[in-house]
């Protein structure tokens, strides 16, 4: 494969992830913190997927989207946290060009997928709350599957162009990435190639993905809020507001904290999930 001006980067050694400089005690505490958060993320989201799969009552479009979100969170954290743990443990931080490019691609593809998936979940809640009588006929298993698949395909396709441009960059100076995983900004800073095209493409894709998905999400919730306001019964309004807790849009992507919180935000506050979890614990 040709890189930029024909340099074979594989012969020039790996990149170095700077991570979190500091004393050994700081590295130890950070390692334990990241490890605990990662284990909680994987365990919590696997529990959600298992509960939905084990209880027919939870096998609805809403929980189908939640399972997709849980699997996405596991994949997202697994794309960067294990390497971070290895860096903290060994204090080496070495990573190959191919490994760094692959990590960058998967982290940002999964991040984009989350925006699309949250928009699909907001649309699902819009149908359920604003068009309850038509919800079953519109949000069929086929449509929910297509929306989820479309979210994944769009998320991974959106990063294709920046990835192609990044793969053509050449590096002739420092190879130390000032981050704890392969992040696009410090990667571009290290390049001695012309990076304007990469920067514009990355900004354009991020702008379109975030703006487009947020527009759909905000529009869906605007209709939901309008519907709630028109409900005369205080009991009915309370019922709708409790449903909103299921799909709180967490728009700020975080490599560790958000995936840990999502199982609690999206499911464990829901009565059906708590009952299913309790029956599983009792072995019923």
**Residue 15 CB neighbours (<10 A):** 23
Residue (of 31, 21, 30, 34) closest to 177 by Cα position: 21
121 and 35 co-located in one domain: yes
Which domain, by its residues, includes 251?
243-283
- Tally the domains of the chain: 2
142 and 254 co-located in one domain: no
Q: How far apart are the C-alpha atoms of 132 and 28, rounded to whole Å?
A: 52
130 and 46 co-located in one domain: yes
DSSP-derived 3-state class of residue 247: helix
- Each residue's pLDDT, cut to its tens digit, for the chain (284 residues) gives 333 333 434 335 688 888 777 788 888 888 998 899 899 889 888 888 888 888 788 788 888 998 899 899 899 999 988 988 888 888 778 888 888 888 888 988 998 898 899 889 888 988 888 888 888 899 999 999 999 999 999 999 988 888 888 878 887 777 888 878 887 777 777 888 777 778 788 788 877 877 777 777 777 777 777 776 776 554 444 544 444 434 333 333 344 445 555 555 555 555 665 666 666 666 65
pTM of the model: 0.73
Instruction: Tell me the Ramachandran region of residue 150: left when phi exceeds 0, alpha when psi lies from -120 to 50, beta otherwise.
Output: alpha
Q: Is residue 10 part of a domain?
A: no
Max Cα-Cα span within the chain? 71
172 and 268 co-located in one domain: no
189 and 227 co-located in one domain: yes
CATH number at residue 144: 1.20.1070.10
44 and 183 co-located in one domain: yes
**Residue 194 CB neighbours (<10 A):** 9
Residue ranges with strand state E in the chain: 15-17, 94-95, 176-177
Q: Is residue 1 part of a domain?
A: no
The DSSP secondary-structure symbol of 7 reads: B
Q: Is residue 5 part of a domain?
A: no
**Residue 102 CB neighbours (<10 A):** 15
Question: Which neighbouring-strand residues pair with 176?
Answer: 16
Which residue, chain included where needed, has tokens 């919800």? 135
Q: Is residue 237 part of a domain?
A: no
Q: Is residue 183 part of a domain?
A: yes
Q: How far apart are the C-alpha atoms of 166 and 69, rounded to whole Å?
A: 28
Residue 82 token pair = 């294990």
């Amino acid at each position: 494969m040709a890189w930029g001006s024909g340099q074979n980067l594989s012969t020039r050694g790996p990149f170095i992830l700077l991570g979190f400089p500091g004393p050994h005690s700081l590295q130890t505490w950070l390692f334990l913190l990241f490890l605990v958060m990662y284990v909680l993320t994987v365990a919590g989201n696997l529990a959600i997927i298992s509960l939905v799969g084990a209880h027919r009552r939870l096998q609805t479009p809403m929980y189908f989207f939640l399972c997709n979100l849980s699997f996405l969170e596991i994949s997202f954290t697994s794309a960067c946290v294990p390497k971070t743990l290895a860096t903290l443990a060994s204090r080496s931080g070495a990573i190959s060009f191919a490994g760094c490019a692959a990590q960058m691609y998967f982290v940002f593809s999964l991040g984009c997928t989350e925006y699309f998936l949250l928009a699909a979940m907001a649309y699902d809640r819009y149908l359920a709350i604003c068009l309850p009588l038509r919800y079953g006929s519109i949000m069929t298993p086929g449509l929910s599957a297509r929306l989820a698949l479309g979210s994944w395909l769009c998320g991974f396709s959106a990063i294709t162009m920046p990835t192609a441009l990044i793969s053509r960059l050449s590096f002739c100076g420092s190879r130390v990435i000032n981050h704890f995983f392969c992040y696009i900004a410090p990667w571009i800073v290290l390049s001695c190639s012309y990076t304007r095209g990469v920067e514009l493409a990355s900004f354009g894709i991020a702008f379109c993905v975030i703006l487009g998905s947020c527009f759909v999400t905000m529009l869906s919730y605007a209709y939901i809020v309008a519907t709630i306001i028109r409900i005369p019964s205080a009991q009915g309004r309370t019922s709708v507001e409790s449903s909103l807790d299921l799909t709180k849009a967490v728009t700020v992507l975080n490599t560790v904290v958000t995936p840990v919180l999502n199982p609690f935000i999206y499911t464990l506050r829901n009565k059906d999930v708590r009952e299913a979890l309790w029956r599983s614990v009792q072995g019923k």
